[in-house]
Amino acid sequence: MTLSLRNSRPGLSVLFENEKLVNEAMTRRLFVGGNWKMNGSKAKIAEMCQVLKNGHYGASARDADVVIGCPSVYLEHTNQVLPKFISAAAQNCYKANCGAFTGEISPSMIADCGVKWVIIGHSERRQLFGETDKLIAEKVSFALSNELKVVACIGETLQEREAGKTFDILMHQVQAIAGAIKDTEHWKNLVVAYEPVWAIGTGKVATKEQAQEVHAFLRKWLASKVSESVSQSIRIIYGGSVTGDNCRDLIKQTDIDGFLVGGASLKPDFIKIINCQSEGSRGSSVERQ
């Protein structure tokens, strides 16, 4: 943590404010999101839920937010059959609650199915379906205004990284989202997922240094453009080839608050990722139903 309580002769209010920020930073709950993408069937969902129910979870996993992004046709079903501590999440939604938008689903429909979370702006939505920063920002804003919690994804392509444009690209993506948020209260329902496109589904995970550098950059940007309080309390998670093996080093980084997991979320490895902060979770296991 970079924030210091040391302050030259601070007034009491400054001291209290700093203390509040330190507390916020220290209490960022671990967030582990799975992203099943367009995979699964009722049989596969039953199998995966059984695997998750049989898992052993350590103490810190017990306090984590765990969600699974599943195909929209299975949202309600998945939400009902997942172990209780895991919530289903939609993988997309539109910026209106009803109307002539063939093929789309809305925040109110997601909520009507008993689901509280939605993933917006995944790189596959950006790259394969042409979603722009502007559309994604509008969708994030609309979902938050309609009581959903949002995982908003950002990330640079390999070409952009190699051209030295990583921070520029990320700044534009996060700026669009920040500019569209209508109420400061909505920030507490937002999780930002940094997912370098070159690491998604490639087996090429960002190094802990690369990921930490970006997460620290994002937190600093939020501190200067939004508020110190938002920058300290918001969860910034990493996604891109996360596995049960590499998650333990990544989570030790100061500014990494969890993960968005694609491939490994369809396998028992996901339990290891939920347990990324639990020491000896096998020995001191706690079953979560």
* Owner of token pair 């950059």: 217
Single out the segment in contact with ligand PGA by CB under 6 A; choices: 8-16, 41-49, 50-58, 238-246. Answer: 238-246
Residue 240 near ligand PGA by CB under 6 A:
yes
Residue 237 near ligand PGA by CB under 6 A:
no
Residue 256 near ligand PGA by CB under 6 A:
no
Which of 170, 178, 242, 274 is the binder for ligand PGA (CB under 6 A)? 242
Residue 92 near ligand PGA by CB under 6 A:
no
Cβ distance to ligand PGA smaller for residue 25 or 206: 206
Which of 239, 244, 271, 275 is the binder for ligand PGA (CB under 6 A)? 239
Q: Is 279 a catalytic residue?
A: no
Residue 282, burial from CB neighbour count under 10 angstroms (0-12, 13-18, 19+): exposed
- Can you say whether the dihedral through the CA atoms of 224, 155, 244, 119 is positive or negative? positive
Q: Is 147 a catalytic residue?
A: no
Residue 91 near ligand PGA by CB under 6 A:
no
Which of 86, 125, 262, 275 is the binder for ligand PGA (CB under 6 A)? 262
- Can you say whether the dihedral through the CA atoms of 247, 250, 256, 262 is positive or negative? negative
Nearest approach in angstroms of CB 109 to ligand PGA is: 23
Token pair, residue 77, equals 């079903």
Nearest approach in angstroms of CB 95 to ligand PGA is: 22
**Which is catalytic among the residues 124, 160, 195, 228?**
195
The interface with ligand PGA within residues 193-212 (CB under 6 A) comprises 195, 200-201
Residue 274 near ligand PGA by CB under 6 A:
no
**Which is catalytic among the residues 122, 131, 215, 228?**
122
Nearest approach in angstroms of CB 238 to ligand PGA is: 10
For the chain, give me the number of helices (H) and strands (E)? 13, 8
- Which among 226, 245, 162, 91 has a CA at the least distance from the CA of 236? 226
133-145 and 166-180 helices cross at what angle (nearest 10)? 40
- Which among 256, 215, 262 has a CA at the least distance from the CA of 242? 262
Residue 152 near ligand PGA by CB under 6 A:
no
- Alpha helices in the chain, H assignment, sequence order: 12-26, 42-54, 59-62, 75-81, 107-112, 123-128, 133-145, 158-162, 166-180, 208-225, 228-233, 247-251, 269-274
Residue 281 near ligand PGA by CB under 6 A:
no
Token pair, residue 8, equals 């030259």
DSSP letter at 206 equals P
Residues with a catalytic annotation lie at: 122, 195
- Return residues touching ligand PGA (CB under 6 A): 35, 195, 200-201, 239-242, 260-264
